[in-house]
Chains A and B, each alone.
Chain A
Amino acid sequence: MTVTPQMDVLYMQGAGHVLGIFTRASELTQIETDVSGFVGSDGLSLRGLLVPGKNVVIPQSLIGIFRADRNWRQIFEPSTLYMTGLPNSPALMPIPNLTPFPGTTFATPNLKVTLAANATLPVSIVVLALGISGGVPGAFPAQIPSGQKVLTIPMVGLTSGNNYNAFVFVPTFQLAVLPFTAP
């Protein structure tokens, strides 16, 4: 039992985007690291919570959990928050750029992510490819090395010819969506 009311934060590992926040009247003494008690084995299905009108399914393996002091405003606005200081000293911060990441393009077969400037530290990003009307989903965690600003990710393993949405998680930006046809 904790004295200060807490809230549990589910976030995208690597990129740090907050996926959802919930509360429990009684928390375990030890902070959990396993999200299987809160996310189904087929992933976390977010229907419009991150992107209005879009269903985003996050694989369980990409989701982390963190506990923070309860903040009612933050609970209901998860898409404006991200985790920083991962993995050693995590903290919940507002996303500085409340606009979708603008630097994503697609030219068969690659999705290209371009930062505004060279990265001073390695930048972890995650791209989820989800079929608009079916098709094999894909998750592409990647990292832009320091000193670089462009990353090319081949969209492999998807259902060829199907229409997909690429959900691009880039730190400090809101989630970007880019439709493309799988190569």
Chain B
Amino acid sequence: MTDPVSRPTFYEGEILPAADLIASVDYPRNQMARHERYVHRWGIAAGLDLTGQPNATAGKVVTASAGIALDGTGKEIVVPDPVTLSPTDFLGSVSPDTTHPESLYPIFLVGLDQAAPPSSNLTGACNSSQPTRTQEKYNIVYGNLGDELNLDQQQGVANITDGPDDGSNNPWRVLLGFVKWDSVVQQFADVADFNPSTGIGRRYVGVNAAEVVSGSGSLILETHPANFSGQNPILALQLREAPNDGKLVFGKLNPDGSVTPVLTVTSNGNLTAVGQISGAVTPGSMQVQSGIAFDGMLLPLPTGINPNDIAAGKVTLHSLVSVHYESVSPLGPHVLVPLECRVDTSTRQIHCRVIDITAALNTNKILPAWCDYVTIVAVPASTGSGS
């Protein structure tokens, strides 16, 4: 049985032992850790950006900026000042692959509790000074190739009532990014936030919530804060109330916090898109294509129609093909009659050939031809006239 969570209480005249005072500190700390652990998702909360600046001699000096992260045990890890990554420490932990300089090595942040040095002014009962503070420190951990995989499988705390881990044994790793290594100059070569070969990048804090409620009449999801300066446009999804209406807006987030809409859905169901809509087609609609095609190719479909939808019976294909005689031009006067001009319904392959009935017996009498085609794809309506 796991002990229940207990809250310290006191009474008048009580002699306070150190354990009770420690419990008074631990109670809110553990409560906060459980909140961070179960209501939020672990990751970077602020800062901790990896940047590389050219070294005076060769390679790059890599720095992690100050910031805050939460680990999977609910522990808050604070990096109060920028920290420079150490090539020596890197080589102490990693065996770089000298044949692949483009390899990306993960950089982790871990939290570590350490007792502060004893106070020189205070003494204990036996005249021996002891620490009166625990310092919440951190370590930079250099990972080998692929160590960023399965970070969600890390072992957290043993019991649901536990407080944060102290980082003394298998501390929880928070991914800050990646470095490249230059084996020639024995320095870092570059930094990256994302490893395209594993599909894993810096992980940020999140929230576990089945319901998010805004009291302002507007709710917005943003891929970065509006004032963020990066390479990619910032995207936003906003739910916004309005008198007698309301809308869902998707688009780019502007520096002033507004959203430039490219897709809007109003509360009465009207959808407006600035770009093209592809993929699913409108029920009850017909899509048309026409042109000239040649023997052997597949019948072209209207734009936006997925051939798999025809095979699956989600839409119905109608086609009309006829020989385009202008295309068949054997030398001299000839009489041509169609041999075949059809579309294979199972493969959509066009069969269009003519016979030259005036050709000599020893010449090619069957000729490939082009056809004029009209393709209509009908999308069934969700309700019919009889409903």
Contacts and interface: CB of A to CB of B under 8 A. Distances in A.
Interface stretch (A43-51, A94-102, A132-140, A153-161): A43-51
B25 interface: no
Nearest to B328: A76
Contact of B366 (A21, A44, A48): A48
Given A48-B367, A53-B364, A38 B327 contact: no
B370 A76 contact: yes
A53 B293 CA distance: 20
A53 B290 CA distance: 29
Given A24-B289, A25-B289, A37 B294 contact: no
Contact of B296 (A20, A29, A53): A20
B266 interface: no
Contacts of A53: 364
A75 interface: yes
A53 B353 CA distance: 12
Interface in A1-46: 10, 20-29, 37-40, 44-46
A52 interface: yes
Given A44-B297, A47-B353, A75-B370, A22 B291 contact: yes
Given A37-B307, A40-B349, A48-B364, A26 B302 contact: yes
Report whether over half of chain A's contact residues are helix, strand or loop; otherwise say mixed: loop
A27 B303 CA distance: 7
B262 to A, nearest CB: 15
13 contacts: A22-B294, A22-B297, A24-B290, A24-B291, A24-B300, A25-B289, A25-B290, A26-B302, A38-B298, A45-B349, A49-B295, A75-B370, A76-B370
B276 interface: yes
A44 B366 CA distance: 19
B259 to A, nearest CB: 24
A151 B194 CA distance: 45
Contacts of A39: 297-298
A76 B329 contact: yes
Interface residues of B, number: 29
B298 A40 contact: yes
Interface string A39-72: 1100011111100110000000000000000000
A140 B326 CA distance: 35
Given A20-B296, A47-B295, A40 B364 contact: no
A26 B293 CA distance: 14
A13 to B, nearest CB: 16
B2 to A, nearest CB: 58
Contacts of B349: 40, 45
A44 B296 contact: yes
B368 interface: yes
Contacts of B368: 46-49
B292 interface: yes
B301 interface: yes
Contacts of A47: 295-296, 353, 366, 368
B347 interface: yes
Nearest to A21: B294
A40 B344 CA distance: 12
A23 B371 CA distance: 11
A38 B300 contact: yes
Contacts of B326: 76
Nearest to B291: A23
A46 B297 CA distance: 8
Interface string B308-340: 000000000000000000110100000000000
Interface string B100-138: 000000000000000000000000000000000000000
Nearest to A43: B296
Contacts of B302: 26
Contact of A37 (B290, B292, B300, B367): B300
Given A24-B289, A25-B291, A45 B307 contact: no
B297 A52 contact: no
B296 A46 contact: yes
Nearest to B289: A24
A147 B301 CA distance: 46
A112 B290 CA distance: 44
